[in-house]
Amino acid sequence: MGRPDVPLALNQYVLKVHSRCDLACDHCYVYEGADQSWRRQPAVISDEIVFQTAQRIAEHATAHQLEAVQVVLHGGEPLLAGPARLRSIIGELHSALRGVCQLDLRIHTNGVRLNEGFCDLFEEFGVKVGISLDGDRSANDRHRRYANGRSSYQAVLDAVQLLRTERYRHLYAGLLCTIDIANDPVTVYESLRSLEPPRIDFLLPHATWDQPPARTPGQDAQYAEWLIAIFDRWLADGQPTGIRTFESIISTLGGGTSSTEALGLTPSSLVVIETDGSYEQVDSLKTAYDGAPATGLTVRTDPVDAAARHPGIVARQQGLAGLSETCRRCPVVASCGGGLYAHRYRTGSGFDNPSVFCPDLFALIAHIETRLPLATGKPTMPNHLVSKSDFMALAAGYGSRAAMEQLAGAQRSVQRALIAKVYARAVASPAVPAPAVDSVRAAWSVLEMAEREQPEVLQSILAHPYIRAWATSCLERLQAADRDDCADGDLLASLGHLSAIAAAAAVRTGQKADLPVPVIGGAVILPTLGRLVLDPAGSLAQPPEAVLSVSVETATIGFGGDYWTIPVTELVGGAPATLRALGDRGPAHWQPVRRLRAPDLTVTLEDTDPYRDCHQWPAAARLSDAEAARWQEQFDAAWREIIRDHPDYAPAIAAGLTVLMPMDPAPEGRDVSSTARDGFGAVGAALPADATTLALLIMHEFQHVKLGAMLDLYDLFDRSDDRLYDAPWREDPRPLEGLFQGTYAHLAVYDYWRVRQQTTTGTEAQLAGKQFKHWHAHTTAAIKTLGKSGSMTDLGTEFMAAMRQSAARWTPETHL
């Protein structure tokens, strides 16, 4: 980072050689932006300015001992300068820098005038050529036309085809495409890819908070969705060409640098030199306001060091310190870098804002992070490694403790990313009222402190299964609020749950905090700890707010003019308590989260969390002490049966099962169990008649937990397959993932009955044998259906092979 007396060296120069253009693109930041200084510029750069520019660059390169500089000939349209003028400019640059440093010379053109004469000139001096093209004819002609409305597409296509010839291929630098979400993204990508560019740059359209980009109201990540469609196709195609945006995000996610000023925290080292010799900041600032890029400096009188010291240029070299508070707190800031500097502008606060594309950048980076195994060619995400042997063991239906610990680590990353997304979206949403935003910021500060002081405690809280369920539903509510431009009570209560999570963190880390927390069902809930019931009758019509004040020794809940105080030791100790009110209201009742214990396994019996009701069957109400005791008795016996009779399943369950969630029993008395895709580690069930059945339900449902986590890491099948498939155990056809999940789960079901047939006698053994034969036939048939779908990826085919081997290992015939 440069100091005023020792500026950061500038090694990238955009040299405007012609300030006019032969196209009239309606999305051009030079001619259609707020800054109209082009009107005052000479049409063509003079010999004097070219000479002074070349000398200034050489002088700066010498002073800073630069090994190379890059100069991009730009405009307007630089080819309007003509071959002779360009030859003179190129020659002057080479002459000044010969013996000083290497010169990487490029030209950026709309291509409509490119011909063999220009190409021969560029070949002589090694000038790389980049061309602007927005896709196929339809996409390109949406914006890039001549002033009379005539299409420019064929002329540009001819230019690209010229560069693709064997003679000029080495000059072909790539294509630059400005995004328009009205165009089909895959069609745009395929049309550009068909031209075999060495690199494609997809550029977000220039916009600011004063002039935001075109969007469908309420859909604030449409540009991310557009780019994600291309990213997924690009990966599926094997990354046939470089795409700067994607490569920069992949690099920064891995701790590397960005190759574009629109992303990452790498300091900018670029300056623009206009046709009159004036130094300007990055060109995209022309979209902010009139005069935004100006520095007041010129090559006639000022060295490059003077431009490098300009506050506007220095501002783009400050890394994290130069970003808004919102950006500095964001978990993807190292990859995003606040976005393009110009896109942060808002009247009144200048550039001290997140990008106007903030939700898009967040969603795109989060998506790419989940696809890193495919993007980098590595088998798994960094820090979430599942070895080949563990992968195959999981595919066979089993899994080691180490494999489950890695899957659990990946899930923690997913949950943290979702929580961060809730925060980022809430503070940026115009639909969320200011007091709610303040509460969200306060909660975030508590979580940040917990992360710094006791990260292992925070990690244990954020790993709670139903935090992901809450974050997912909260994001859906935020999207609806942005669409309707209105936040309802459900959203405000949902956002308030972030304060409840932070309050639990404050209690468990001994951190002082004052947080507004929602009252849901007449109670204040502290995730992973329990709930304080303020209104047992649940008569409060609207979810009001309480205030929780946490100190080192006590926590005080204020509600409706009354206060209850409880020692922190009682909150974390797991014992119920009755609290007297300091006011007119009656006592409050602390109901701690209970734990179920068995040999080498302790799980939460979750009957307090308001977001637990995300399964296919309703959650049970708070259990009585007698009911909880029956759960303890059955759980202990069920776990002992699993480790005794089904030891191949026990290690994964021991490492990954963290919650049992009581559900309402079915009216007809049948057994009920479930998992939720957004509730990793949790199994829901109505307490069955005996421990043997509970063992079966746990084994069955935990298969879904394992496969759900695997699907978050790996693409095992084509997710665009929207066909329905027959599932032998259901009357209704199932989508591909549903069939996959059911088949994998029933590996454990038929295996359970196989062992049960061997460990029992008489009528019980006969019943087990029938169940084994029944579920084995269903599972084998479903595996065949999956194999015939044609939608398995290569990795999914390996996974299926292991499932098939498991099914073939034990057959009813081997047990006759």
pLDDT band of residue 541 (cuts 50, 70, 90) is very low
Q: How many CB atoms lie within 10 A of CB 81?
A: 22
Q: 129 has which bridge partners?
A: 107, 172
Q: Residue 579 is which amino acid?
A: L
Q: What is the pLDDT of residue 815?
A: 52
Q: Is 302 helix (H, G, I), strand (E, B) or coil?
A: coil
Q: State both tokens at 658.
A: 């963290």
Mean pLDDT in residue range 614-640 = 95
Q: What is the pLDDT of residues 284-306, one digit of tens each?
A: 888 888 888 899 999 999 999 99
Segment 577-594 shows an average pLDDT of 86
Beta pairing partners, 566: 555
Q: How far apart are CA 103 and CA 708, in angstroms?
A: 52
Contacts 24+ apart (CB under 8 A), 154-158: 155/111, 155/112, 156/110, 156/111, 156/112, 156/131, 156/132, 157/133, 157/195
**What secondary structure, in 3-state letters, does 662-696 show?**
EECCCCCCCCCEECCCCCCCEEEECCCCCHHHHHH
- Here the tokens at position 421 are 């997304």
In this structure, which amino acid lies at residue 773? K
Q: Which pLDDT score is estimated for 586? A: 80
Q: Summarize the confidence of residues 295-318 as an average pLDDT.
A: 90
pLDDT band (50, 70, 90) for residue 780:
very high
Phi and psi (nearest 5°) for 64?
Answer: -105, 5
pLDDT at 539: 55
CB atoms within 10 A of CB 816: 6
Distance CA(299)–CA(279), nearest Å, equals 7
Q: Mapping DSSP to helix (H, G, I), strand (E, B) and coil, where does residue 318 land?
A: coil
Residue 289 phi, psi dihedral angles, 5° rounding:
-160, 165
pLDDT-derived band at 469, boundaries 50, 70, 90: very high
The DSSP bridge pattern shows strands 242-243 and 594-598 to be unpaired
At 554, give phi and psi (nearest 5°): -135, 165
- Burial category of 238 from C-beta neighbours within 10 Å (exposed 0-12, middle 13-18, buried 19 and up): exposed
Two structure tokens written together for 375: 């993007």
Residue with tokens 């006011």: 583
Calpha distance 71→55 (Å, rounded)? 13
Query: What is the predicted pLDDT for the residue at 574?
Result: 80
Choice among 13-17, 356-360, 571-575, 679-683 with the minimum mean pLDDT: 571-575
Please say whether the beta carbons of 695 and 657 come within 8 A. Answer: no
Q: Is 551 helix (H, G, I), strand (E, B) or coil?
A: coil
Q: Return the CATH architecture of domain 12-212+219-344.
A: Alpha-Beta Barrel (3.20)
Q: Go through 569-583 and write b for each residue having 16 or more CB atoms within 10 A of its CB, e for each that does not.
A: ebbbeeeebebebee
Q: How many CB atoms lie within 10 A of CB 357?
A: 24
Q: In angstroms, rounded to a whole number, what is the distance separating the alpha carbons of residues 294 and 291?
A: 5
Cβ proximity of 183 and 171 under 8 Å? no
DSSP string over 142-171: TT-B-TTS-B-HHHHHHHHHHHHSTTTGGG
- Please report which confidence band the pLDDT of residue 379 belongs to, taking 50, 70 and 90 as the band edges: very low
Output the average pLDDT for the chain.
Answer: 89
For residues 416 and 173, which has the higher predicted lDDT (pLDDT)?
A: 173
Tell me if residue 764 falls in helix, strand or coil.
helix
**Rounded-to-integer distance, Cα 302 and Cα 7, Å:** 14
HSE, side-chain direction, 13 A CA sphere, residue 517: 31
Does 538 have pLDDT greater than 70? no
Residues 6+ apart with CB under 8 A from 602: 595, 596
**Strand, coil or helix: 787:** helix
Mean pLDDT, rounded, for 449-473: 90
- The model's pLDDT over 183-208, given as tens digits with 9 standing for 90+, comes to 999 999 999 999 999 999 999 998 99
Q: Which residue has the higher pLDDT, 79 or 813?
A: 79
Residue 375 has pLDDT above 60, yes or no: no
CA 479 to chain centre: 16
DSSP 3-state assignment of 389?
helix
> What confidence score (pLDDT) does residue 64 get?
92
What percentage of the chain has pLDDT greater than the value 90?
A: 62
Contact present, 288 and 352 (Cβ < 8 Å): no
Residue given tokens 């005539």 in the structure block = 150
Rounded-to-integer distance, Cα 382 and Cα 255, Å: 11
Whether the pLDDT of residue 378 is over 70: the answer is: no
Q: Residue 71 is inside which H or E element, if any? A: strand 68-74
**pLDDT tens-digit map of 86-128:** 999 999 999 999 999 999 999 999 999 999 999 999 999 999 9
Instruction: For 61-89, write each residue's pLDDT tens digit.
Output: 999 999 889 999 998 899 999 999 999 99
How far apart are alpha carbons 237 and 46 in whole angstroms? 47
Give the mean pLDDT of 213-219: 84
